[in-house]
Amino acid sequence: MRIGVVREIKTDEHRVALTPAGELLLAHVHEIVARFQAAQADLAGIDERDHDALRLGLFGSVARVLLPAMLQRFTHDMPAARVEAVERGTAGELYDMVETGTLDVAFAELPLRSGPFECRELLSDPWVAVVRVDSPLARRDAPPTLAALAGVPLIDVTREAGLQVVPWMRAQGLEPRVAARTDNEVTAQALAASGMGVAVIPRLAADPHDPRVRLVELEGLPPRCIGIYWHRERQRLSAVRQFCIIAETVAAGIHEAPPPEPLMSPAFASMIDPASMPS
């Protein structure tokens, strides 16, 4: 049986396109290539890989808030394990590294992008308004609504994945007053502290120990979901399976626990004069 997978489209410019059968075949080809790449990655590392090694992909707020507790438990359960943590500026880089076998697992905002991935959802992270400490929003008894935020200057944080706050507000019929834009949540908090506007960011991305600001709970925004994912066609080593279990356990209690203290190296801490610190 012969099935045509390409058809000619007669226009002013000669073009070809896939037939429905061709599109179906292409989907299978992508799956075959993904399985082949997974097999290559497993075979390439069969002699050189330590089966207790863990190659982990991170993004900012996970590295700061979740990773320390996860690694503390992981090294307790698997003291011989070796951890290689990689932080990248974009989620796309981490997806590519998991797909090619450079990383074993990585964290991501859900939903995942399409590809040969499986994941476990870890937690829902609510949004907060980061406001200057003397802002009227910091003294409200009830969480502000999106309509209330539309009346104040906002710091628009453009994000690679997940919810985009300003477009979401516009979809609800609101027209926010954008005072500044950034793609970095640390910068957004600094701008809010300067009084330029209100930054709306996920709670785990905010620094709760910054004395210049207050974190105000919000209503009306769906929380972002964070998960951990891996290549579904690759064999998960014991270290990877154990870390995924620990990640679920730590994430389940993250919002019940007190916020973690900012990480500070001993070298940096020794440079600070205690007398200059606020009491």
Q: Write out pLDDT tens, residues 35-64.
A: 555 555 555 555 445 566 899 999 988 888
Can you give the length of the chain in residues?
279
Separation of alpha carbons 207 and 193, rounded Å: 11
CB 219 within 8 A of CB 143: yes
Sequence spans of domains, the chain: 42-124+227-259, 127-222
Same fold, 42-124+227-259 and 127-222: yes
Superfamily of domain 127-222: Periplasmic binding protein-like II (3.40.190.10)
Residue identified by tokens 């105000």 is: 216
Residue-level pLDDT at 263: 40
Return the pLDDT at 74.
95
Helix (H, G, I), strand (E, B) or coil at 3: coil
Over residues 141-167, the mean pLDDT reads: 91
C-alpha distances in Å from residue 51, one per residue of 35, 56, 82, 168, 251: 21, 14, 9, 44, 25
User: Using a CB cutoff of 8 Å and minimum separation of 24, what contacts does 255-262 make?
Assistant: 255/123, 255/203, 259/208, 259/209, 260/64, 260/65, 260/68, 260/69, 261/209, 262/207, 262/209
The span from the CA of 232 to the CA of 119, in Å, is 9
The whole-chain average pLDDT of the chain stands at: 81
> In the predicted model, is pLDDT for residue 32 greater than 90?
no
Residue 212 pLDDT: 97
Reported as a pLDDT band with limits 50, 70 and 90, residue 9 is low
Res 265: pLDDT: 35
Q: pTM score, two decimals? A: 0.74
> Quick one: what percent of the chain has pLDDT higher than 90?
58
Q: Where is pLDDT greater, at 41 or 102?
A: 102
- Give the SS3 label for residue 244: helix
Q: What is the pLDDT of residue 14?
A: 55
Query: What is the per-residue pLDDT for 64?
Result: 86
Q: Which of these CATH numbers, 3.40.50.1220, 3.40.50.10490, 3.40.50.11900, 3.40.190.10, describes 42-124+227-259?
A: 3.40.190.10
